[in-house]
Homo-oligomer: A and B are copies of this chain.
Amino acid sequence: MYKEPMGKYLSIAKRAHSMLLQKKLKQYNIGTGELYILIVLYKEDGICQQKICDHYRINKAAVGRAVHKLEKKHFITKKPDEKDRRKRILSLTEKARKMKPEFKNILRSAEKVLRKDLSDKEIETFLKVSKKISKNIHEVLDQN
């Protein structure tokens, strides 16, 4: 049953992917963490940080810091939600909205690299398994 560890190749692939994105993003003076946040906001502007945490299953501390960087670079603004003052509403600036096609394209072109010579079936299975893995793990982690 134990051919090769999935964990190992998961790590290797993930690092490679980050390097690829990083390289493409270098000229824009923005990191992958920041890009991911912008991408969520391109889909749904005006959400709070917690929603981004949920979207990527990422820690709120990490999101908080990336958001802060984006703010400093004038890609987003942050203001308290009047209806629930614990929340901060994140909004894209004009600068960020203008960059949308470019940033989307970076992700698309990276995705194209990943998918080279892979069949739709393989990609579909990969997506399905990746999701299942995360679910399996969090079922263990979240119990207690």
Contacts and interface: CB of A to CB of B under 8 A. Distances in A.
B21 A7 contact: yes
Interface in A1-37: 1-21, 23, 36
Contacts of A8: 36, 56
Copies of chain A in the complex: 2
Report whether over half of chain A's contact residues are helix, strand or loop; otherwise say mixed.
helix
Contact of A6 (B23, B127, B132, B141): B127
Q: Which of A11, A125, A141 has the most CB of B within 10 A?
A: A11
A27 to B, nearest CB: 16
A122 interface: yes
Contacts of A1: 120
A17 to B, nearest CB: 5
The 3 closest A-B pairs by CB, nearest first: A9-B130, A14-B14, A16-B137
Interface of A: 1-21, 23, 36, 56-58, 107-108, 110-111, 113-118, 120, 122-134, 136-138, 140-141
